[in-house]
């Protein structure tokens, strides 16, 4: 009887071939070109920002009046800005802020959105109807405009910007998980668990969540790049981090007035942001191919 309540994969329940083993998926990761390329680029960027104290000893906020607008050289590899601040230091330490804020946004949105989606998809009824109508209300507004409105209400700052963008991602995850949960709920192994007396919380945690988790992971990697762009956008217009803290969006805002005089102020943070967004999108596309059981291996 205990075998009846175990959560077999959706493929085996539907009579399809079983999912590949962990070792097989590991080999697929290394064979998938876009996933491998995205992982290498993303890991390289993460290592650079993590090792920032080892790569530069300059304070990212230290102003040096005698070194303003220094072009890239051996002494200052990424040049200096209008206040003589070392751009290598500001780009690396600013990358920490952008990456951590983006990761926090998608984790917050994934956790709360998944919980709401599981409740709405499995329990249904009045609670599910109320949750999904609230989700539809949030989805009716353009994402960036809603983020700007929430940030304007809460006030400028990185924490408020993270909260604002996280609120936008919650309904996106809730809609995805709700639809997947409604499909898994009707499968035989879930009905067997209900027959044997398993409670709703246990069923959602041990039987439904593992079957929708792959979709959540793929969406998280895909939205990580979007979150980075939105965090950068808020910093660019002054609603994100506040001076003199370094962050890619704030650095781009500082350098926009000096594009013809000091191109390096905007080039290097823009290049790092572009590489980060492209790399996480490549990872998301690759994970979709590896984790989606409907795609032939």
CATH class of segment(s) 41-48+84-291 = mainly alpha
Distance (Å, rounded) from C-alpha 75 to C-alpha 57?
12
pLDDT score of 24: 59
Which pLDDT tens digit goes with each residue over 238-293? Answer: 888 888 899 999 999 999 989 999 999 999 999 999 999 999 999 988 888 777 65
Domain ranges of the chain: 41-48+84-291
- Residue 13, pLDDT score: 40
Four-point Cα dihedral 174, 43, 51, 275, nearest 10: -80
**Burial environment of residue 217 by CB neighbours within 10 A (0 to 12, 13 to 18, 19 or more):** middle
The candidate with the shortest Cα–Cα distance to 242, out of 125, 144, 160, is: 160
| Residue-level pLDDT at 7 | 45
Q: 10 Å Cβ neighbour count for 172?
A: 20
In 10 A of CB 177, how many CB atoms?
28
pLDDT averaged per 10 residues, the chain (length 297) = 42 45 59 86 96 93 92 94 95 96 95 93 88 89 82 88 92 92 85 82 86 89 92 91 91 92 95 96 86 56
CA distances from 60 to 46, 54, 98, 101, 159 (A): 18, 14, 15, 18, 20
- Picking from 276, 256, 249, 63, the residue whose alpha carbon sits closest to that of residue 158 is 249
Q: Please give the pLDDT value at position 11.
A: 45
Residue-wise over 181-195: b if at least 16 C-beta within 10 A, else e? bbebbebebbebbee
Degrees, nearest 5: CA angle 292-296-297:
90
For residue 297, the model assigns a pLDDT of: 45
Place of tokens 């803290």: 245
Tokens of residue 287, six digits: 């994970």
3-state DSSP assignment of residue 246: coil
Q: Report pLDDT for 195.
A: 81
pTM: 0.84
The position carrying tokens 């996106």 is 172
């Amino acid at each position: 009887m205990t075998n009846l309540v175990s959560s077999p994969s959706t493929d085996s329940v539907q009579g399809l071939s079983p999912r590949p083993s962990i070792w097989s998926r590991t080999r697929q990761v290394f064979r998938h070109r876009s996933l491998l390329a995205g992982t290498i680029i993303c890991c390289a960027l993460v290592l650079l920002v993590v090792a920032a104290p080892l790569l530069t000893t300059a304070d990212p906020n230290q102003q040096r009046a005698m070194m303003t607008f220094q072009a890239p050289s051996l002494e200052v590899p990424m040049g200096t800005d209008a206040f003589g601040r070392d751009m290598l230091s500001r780009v690396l330490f600013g990358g920490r802020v952008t990456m951590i804020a983006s990761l926090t946004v998608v984790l917050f949105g994934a956790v709360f959105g998944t919980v709401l989606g599981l409740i709405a998809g499995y329990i249904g009824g009045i609670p599910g109807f109320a949750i999904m109508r609230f989700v539809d209300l949030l989805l009716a507004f353009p994402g960036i405009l809603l983020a700007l409105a929430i940030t304007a209400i809460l006030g400028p700052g990185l924490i408020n910007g993270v909260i604002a963008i996280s609120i936008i991602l919650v309904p996106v995850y809730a809609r995805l998980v709700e639809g997947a949960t409604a499909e898994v709920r009707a499968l035989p192994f879930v009905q067997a668990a209900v027959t044997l007396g398993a409670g709703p919380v246990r069923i959602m945690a041990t039987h439904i969540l593992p079957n929708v988790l792959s979709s959540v992971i793929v969406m998280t990697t895909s939205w990580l790049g979007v979150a980075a762009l939105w965090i950068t956008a808020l910093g660019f217009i002054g609603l994100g981090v506040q001076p003199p803290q370094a962050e890619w969006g704030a650095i781009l805002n500082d350098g926009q007035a000096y594009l013809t005089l000091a191109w390096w102020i905007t080039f290097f943070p823009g290049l790092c942001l572009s590489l980060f967004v492209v790399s996480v999108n490549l990872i998301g596309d690759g994970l979709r191919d590896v984790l989606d059981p409907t795609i032939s291996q």
